[in-house]
Amino acid sequence: MTFLGTAASVGVPAFFCDCQPCLEAVREPRFQRSRSAVLISGRKNVLVDAPPELRRQLLAAKARRVDAFVLTHAHYDHSGGLGDLEFPVRLEGLDPIPSYMSLESENWMRLAFPFMTDCLHLNLMEIGRSFVIDDVAYTPLEVAHSSGTFGLLMTTGRDRTAYIPDTGPLPPSTWEALHDVDTLILGATFWGRNPMPEDHLSVDEAIGIAREIRPKNLYLTHLSMHFDTPVTNHELESYLESFGPSFHVAYDGLTIAI
């Protein structure tokens, strides 16, 4: 799994911002963050979400193809680059890309990207109903976010990895599904006060979930770094050290085994 992007909706640095995290990212490009997405690569490349920077993300990951696509939800920071998937189908004459999304996301896509309906082979995602791509079982998880939003539990022969970039407090069914998960990837949008507690997690709230679930590794993603209190990557890394070596900050381009 490659983290193509690890930012919340604003990105880091933001074009309008001169807070310390943004200035840090200007000075040290490794701390720059594009909007959140991941690529699972085996015999096939499975893309999860399509942020506005998708073209650049795939080039940076040296991904020459997308064999399947999963959309967690239709918010712009997760879907704004969807149109980039049109070109390999039309220009290269490929078959429509097998794609998985909720009914709410499909309805939105048909309105926002009507030209994509013949480029994607649409499959309906439902909570708890698994589907398999390239020997990986993907199970949609219930989350506390906009209607039609899912997290994902990915099960392989070696471990169980949960990718939940956008959620507020986890629903009971998801707590149960995450029992004995090996790798937990959680959105930690806010540092300090959480101004949207029903829809997002703060860093401390994500850490609290991980300390109860006790995965082998936690990766924080979907980081704004700006709000409610700005935090630099150096500060965030130092803070996580107190929780032990299994607590990590995810960065654009980071690759882990699942």
pLDDT digits (tens, 9 = 90+) for 173-204: 999 999 999 999 999 999 989 999 999 999 99
- For the chain, what percentages of helix, strand and coil (3-state, to nearest 5) are there? 30, 25, 45
| Residues facing residue 159 across a β-bridge | none
Residue 228 pLDDT: 86
Full set of structural domains in the chain with CATH: 2-249 (3.60.15.10)
pLDDT digits (tens, 9 = 90+) for 111-129: 999 999 999 999 999 999 9
Q: Tell me whether residue 25 is exposed, middle or buried, using C-beta atoms within 10 angstroms of its C-beta: 0 to 12, 13 to 18, 19 or more.
A: buried
pLDDT digits (tens, 9 = 90+) for 53-80: 999 999 999 999 999 999 999 999 999 9
Confidence of residue 130 (pLDDT cuts 50, 70, 90): very high
> Using H for helix, E for strand and C for coil, what is the string for 159-199?
CEEEEECCCCCCCHHHHHHCCCCCEEEEECCEECCCCCCCC
* Cα 136 from chain centre: 17
164: CB partners within 8 A, 6+ apart:
141, 143, 151, 152, 170, 174, 184, 185, 186, 187
> Is pLDDT above 90 for 101?
yes
Average pLDDT over residues 205-211: 97
Confidence of residue 134 (pLDDT cuts 50, 70, 90): very high
Its pTM stands at: 0.97
Average pLDDT along the chain: 96
Q: What is the DSSP letter of 222?
A: S
